[in-house]
Chains A and B, each alone.
Chain A
Amino acid sequence: MTDPDSVAALGARLREGTATSVGLTERALARIASLDPVLHAFIRVEGKAAMAAAAAADAELRTGHDRGPMHGIPYALKDIFDAAGLPTTCHSRVMDGHVAVKDSAVASRFREGGAILLGKLATYEFALGGPSFDIPFPPARNPWNPAHIPGGSSSGSAVAVAAGMVRVTTGSCTAGSIRGPAAFCGTVGLKPTYGRVSRRGVFPLAWSLDHCGPLARSVEDAAIALQVMAGHDPADPGSADMPVPDYREGLDRGVAGLRFGVPRGFFTHDPTLSDDARDGIEATLRVLRDAGADVIDIELPDYALYRSCNRVIMAAEMFSVHRPTLQRRFTDYGEIAAQRFTSGVAVDAADYLAAQRLRRILGDAVDRALQSCDVLATAISMATAPRFDAVGAVMPLQPAVFNVTGHPAISVPTGLGRDGLPLALQVAGRRFDEATVLRAGRAIEQLTGWDQVPLPR
């Protein structure tokens, strides 16, 4: 069954004149007004500007000026992405008074594509740690149960999509900040290949690990958003000059004949893996097999090595970003961010290079696995989202592998646990082959029936 509220369906209605961007934007703003006092997805709502942009988008479509699949569709930015004329708070007192002069590359691409910016979304402070209660805005809450965290750092991005405020948001991902909240909130979250989406105008956390990508209600929505976001940007030194294919072409080809490699060693014996998460992973692998996929077990290095590599590189790079500000304004940071950033003082040059040397080996191992498999399927959430009052030192997530290696990876919801909170599976693919990752993700949301699950509220 086609979702009548998908980006593609709404776009068709805009073009046939049975819907208007003004109407879609009004509806989105009304839903934000209704739900956000509890969920805190948005730091800032730009209602007046959004309505003006929507009216302009409608006028353009009436005259035949079509900017593409996001034309007239509302979206929102994680508040570490610059949008010209708006504050970029990074959810931190440290950024008080900052107003972006220029659009980030991503905001610019959405603006050129005719999308309607609704506002800026909650994040963990500078996209790290959290949830925190000692920073300027309250943390976002999980729409499936506000007593539970939504994950982070792209917290508001996941919450806004999961609560039906908006179909598409942006996220950034250094150690799982797109796929983690997507998994906890029951949205799709895609971390593209390193270099696929420009990071220009996005506040850095750790340069060699930072990725930008979409969170979306469905895999098709994510494919459309990536189409707008992807492309070479000479102003981002990590940006890749690689062709961008049509991400919707082949999306519905199914998984028959597709080979999934499952690195069970990552998650099977991990003490944070819950029964619900294990059952959800196994049930999803079964439906993939039943649909004709070839699902095989594979061996990769220990997950702990990927996590340590990610952690050490991130610590060194984020300390480099924040050291000058920590020297002057330590107490303006929230407690979690301050202690995480400051810990980078303990990484010396040899440690950092040891991590980068190991990184090559760990990346090569994934490349080798993907010579005999089309995609990898593995855990993302090891349990459903914890309650705010039960957040421990170790978050039950396994996202670090593909930040270290740079391979594209998606989190796709697969069902609900016994506590009524979402479960998910992660699929990763070859470098710059987001198309196959999206194809596998599309099949998973259909085969598991997730595409028929209603919004939580």
Chain B
Amino acid sequence: MPDAALPSLYPAILAACGIVVPPDRLDGVIAEIIELRGHIDRLNAACPDAGEPATLFGNGQ
């Protein structure tokens, strides 16, 4: 997903997913997405060569 200019894209992305967000709730959803993208950027920066992913069944079993 491209990182630039994302807020303006989200209404279209949401609509493409079939989710209709009422106009009075759109700002809240976009604010939440921007906060989430900050977390995504942090973890992508932290582990460019992190090896294989953990799995649902990988917690010591």
Taking Cβ atoms with an 8 Å cutoff, the residues of A that contact B are 193-195, 207-208, 237-238, 240-242, 304-305, 307-309, 311-312, 315, 323, 326-327, 330-331, 335, 338-340, 342-348, 351, 353-361, 363, 393, 405-406, 431-432
Contact = CB atoms under 8 A, between A and B. Distances in A.
A335 B28 contact: yes
Contacts of A309: 43
A151 B10 CA distance: 31
Nearest to A129: B32
Contacts of A432: 60
A323 B17 CA distance: 8
Nearest to A322: B19
Contacts of B20: 327, 330
A208 B21 contact: no
Contacts of B18: 327
A346 B37 contact: yes
A175 to B, nearest CB: 12
A208 B54 CA distance: 10
Interface string B19-56: 11110010011011101111110111011001111111
A48 B20 CA distance: 43
A308 B50 contact: no
A363 B17 CA distance: 33
Interface of B: 1, 6, 10, 13-14, 17-22, 25, 28-29, 31-33, 35-40, 42-44, 46-47, 50-61
A194 B28 contact: no
A194 B54 CA distance: 13
B32 A342 contact: yes
Contacts of A308: 38-40, 42-43, 46
Contact of A353 (B1, B53, B56, B59): B53
B47 A354 contact: yes
Given A238-B57, A305-B43, A357 B51 contact: yes
Given A241-B61, A304-B42, A360-B50, 20 more contacts: A238-B57, A238-B59, A240-B61, A305-B43, A305-B46, A307-B39, A308-B39, A327-B18, A335-B28, A343-B29, A343-B35, A345-B33, A351-B40, A357-B50, A357-B52, A358-B47, A360-B58, A361-B47, A363-B54, A393-B35
A345 B13 contact: yes
Nearest to B37: A346
A399 to B, nearest CB: 16
B28 A339 contact: yes
Contacts, number: 136
B44 A360 contact: no
Residue among A241, A344, A351 having the largest count of chain B Cβ atoms under 10 Å: A351
A354 B54 CA distance: 10
A351 B42 CA distance: 11
A144 B17 CA distance: 44
Contacts of B29: 338-339, 342-343
A326 B6 CA distance: 21
10 contacts: A194-B59, A305-B46, A307-B39, A311-B36, A323-B17, A338-B25, A345-B10, A346-B1, A354-B44, A358-B46
Given A312-B43, A431-B59, A360 B21 contact: no
Contacts of B44: 351, 354
A345 B19 contact: yes
Given A342-B19, A432-B60, A355 B43 contact: yes
A355 B28 CA distance: 24
A375 to B, nearest CB: 16
Contacts of B13: 345-346
